[in-house]
Amino acid sequence: MEILSKLFGSEARVKIIRLFLFNPEEIFDIDDISERSKVNKNLAKKEVDGLLKAALLKKKSFYKLTEKKSGKKVIEKRKRVNGYSLNPNFPYLSSLRNFLMSGRDFGGTEVLKKLSKAGQLKLVIVAGVFTKDETSRLDLLVVGNNLNKTALSNVVSSIEADLGKEINYAYFETGDFKYRIEMCDKLIKDVLDYPHQKLLDRIPLQF
């Protein structure tokens, strides 16, 4: 119980734990952790230190490809850095993975709230990581009017940080989506034929 009490305590910590659970073979340095989880570097270091004490993570050095500008040239160099990886011998690893790796605990209302910043939504479908279906080609399908590509990319990046995993997504303007439905687009058909959940449906179509 003492170990578990050290695990939870902040949203940042949960994000970082998920990052390692979804990428059990990867090694991340603090810069990677901060970027992938969208957590301030100083806070990320503090949370990682806590997870090291709880024995969920372990230190592991690795070679990282870095870039350095020299005039107009970009020089790539492999540099040995200190990193962290998931400890496969952590006693509560299986229970923790079952609890935190489910996309179901990432509420649909929260997803829609984030996505609403990208445009006028008409249809939002989640699958894959959100429905525990590893065979799905997509995790997220978004349909709407005047969708902003940059805003949508930023929203997806934010969701990925919360989940701790990169997600596969596709988006379509409403007219294009309806056309693809009529043409029996394989990607869309695959999503609709397999386990999925509609978070929003304002398109009067029968799937």
47 shares its domain with 122: no
Please tell me whether residue 86 adopts helix, strand or coil conformation. strand
Q: Which residue among 82, 100, 118 closes a domain?
A: 100
State which of 79, 100, 121 marks the end of a domain: 100
* Closest to 144 measured CA to CA, from 167, 114, 115: 115
Together in a domain, 61 and 132: no
Residues 87 and 110 in one domain: no
Region 34-52: what's the mean pLDDT?
A: 95
Kindly state whether residues 145 and 59 are assigned to the same domain: no
Is the separation of the CB atoms in 175 and 105 below 8 Å?
A: no
Overall domain count for the chain: 2
Q: State whether 87 and 158 are in the same domain.
A: no
55 and 115 housed in the same domain: no
Percent of the chain whose predicted confidence (pLDDT) is above 70: 91
Last residue of a domain, one of 35, 68, 100: 100
- 78 and 115 inside one domain: no
Closest CA to 140 of 185, 174, 170: 170
What residue numbers bound the domain in which 133 lies? Answer: 103-201
Instruction: Considering only residues 70 and 59, tell me which one the structure prediction assigns the higher pLDDT.
Output: 59
Residue 103 has pLDDT above 90, yes or no: no
pLDDT band for 135, please (50, 70, 90 cuts): confident
pLDDT for residue 105 is more than 70:
no
pLDDT at res. 107: 63
Return the CATH number at 58. 1.10.10.10
3-state secondary structure 129-151: HHCCCCCCCCCEEEEEECCCHHH
* Predicted local confidence at residue 83, as pLDDT: 95
pLDDT at 147 over 90: yes
Average pLDDT, the chain: 87
Query: Helix H segments across the chain?
Result: 2-7, 11-22, 30-37, 41-53, 93-100, 108-115, 149-163, 174-182, 186-193
Query: Sorting pLDDT into bands at 50, 70 and 90, what band is 93?
Result: very high
Whether 206 is in a domain gets the answer no
For residue 44, what are its two tokens? 């990320």
What number of H helices and E strands is found in the chain?
Answer: 9, 6
Note the pLDDT of residue 1: 44
In sequence order, the β-bridge partners of residue 64 are 79
Alpha helices in 54-119 (DSSP H): 93-100, 108-115
Residue 207 lies in a domain: no
What pTM value is reported for the model?
Answer: 0.76
